[in-house]
Amino acid sequence: MKIDVLTLFPAMFAGPLDESIVQRARKSGRLELNLHNLRDYTHDRHRTVDDRPFGGGPGMLLKPEPLFEALEHLAGESAWVILLTPAGRPFNQSIALELARKEHLLLICGSYEGVDERVHEGWVDEELSIGDYVLTNGALPAMVIIDVVTRLLPGVLGDEQSAQEESFSHGLLEYPQYTRPADFRGLKVPEVLRSGNHAQITAWRAEQSRLRTAHRRPDLLDRTTAPGLPGQAKQNDL
Ligand code: 4G3
């Protein structure tokens, strides 16, 4: 997969994407990640990327010309163009699975108070939000999406099953897990996990997932509000 990122702060991306699984995916060629500075698509002496909103009000907007030029240069025929904004569709594991099937993503990191609406209309395929809070810019949301999608690419995780079997793949929270020692300062591992009875272990884990989800995230058990598994319509969508 190719991911192009359009940002005013390319230096923010050094670190998170140069470590661990994302770095391995890049080195193995499974992920091609390219960072682009929006200021490189300006032509004036001050490399201006923002301007005041028509109609007044506080703050600045990203102006359309540098964004259009950058998108004309980078998007080609293939790119699925995503704008990171607090007003976007709430990102989740199900959306990540859909994105992982695309050939080419182009992430636009919004900044300031937003982006001129003509960019949304002309270029953006999808607006996403990583949660109900406002950040100084869209770089952190872009990194979150890159991280979540990269580990779903074929061949990226060492153990292919671990991406499939983990939390959220079933739409439930993960069950409690333990490693050695069986007794740590008097805190004991549940007997069933040491029993060797795999049918019982599977049943115990399913029950723990269900209980934990009911306590912590009842919204995930509600068919009308849960994000749903990939390709599955919510009751409200029907
Ligand atoms: C306002 C995304 C702010 C409008 C971006 C971009 C949070 C998220 C911004 C806009 C952001 C999020 C930049 N803050 N919750 N800040 O995903 O288009």
The pLDDT of residue 164 is 60
Residue 18 half-sphere exposure toward CB, CA atoms < 13 A:
7
Domain boundaries, the chain: 2-151, 167-236
Contact assessment for residue 71 and residue 115, using Cβ atoms and an 8 Å cutoff: no
The pLDDT of residue 168 is 76
Residue with the smallest CA separation from ligand 1 atom 18 is 114
Dist. CA 140 → ligand 1 center (Å): 10
Q: pLDDT digit of tens for each residue in the chain (238 aa)?
A: 999 999 999 999 999 999 999 999 999 999 999 999 999 999 999 999 999 999 999 999 999 999 999 999 999 999 999 999 999 999 999 999 999 999 999 999 988 789 999 999 999 999 999 999 999 999 999 999 999 999 999 999 986 556 565 667 689 999 999 999 999 999 999 999 999 999 999 999 999 999 999 999 999 999 888 887 655 665 544 3
CATH class of 2-151: alpha beta
Region 167-236: CATH code: 1.10.1270.20
Dist. CA 82 → ligand 1 center (Å): 12
Residue with the smallest CA separation from ligand 1 atom 10 is 114
Q: To test ligand 1's pocket by mutation, which of 60, 81, 135, 147 has the most ligand atoms within 8 angstroms of CB? A: 135
Dist. CA 49 → ligand 1 center (Å): 16
Crossing angle, helix 20-27 and helix 139-150, to 10 degrees? 70
The pLDDT of residue 197 is 98
Whether 167-236 and 2-151 are alike in CATH topology: the answer is no
Dist. CA 89 → ligand 1 center (Å): 12
The pLDDT of residue 170 is 82
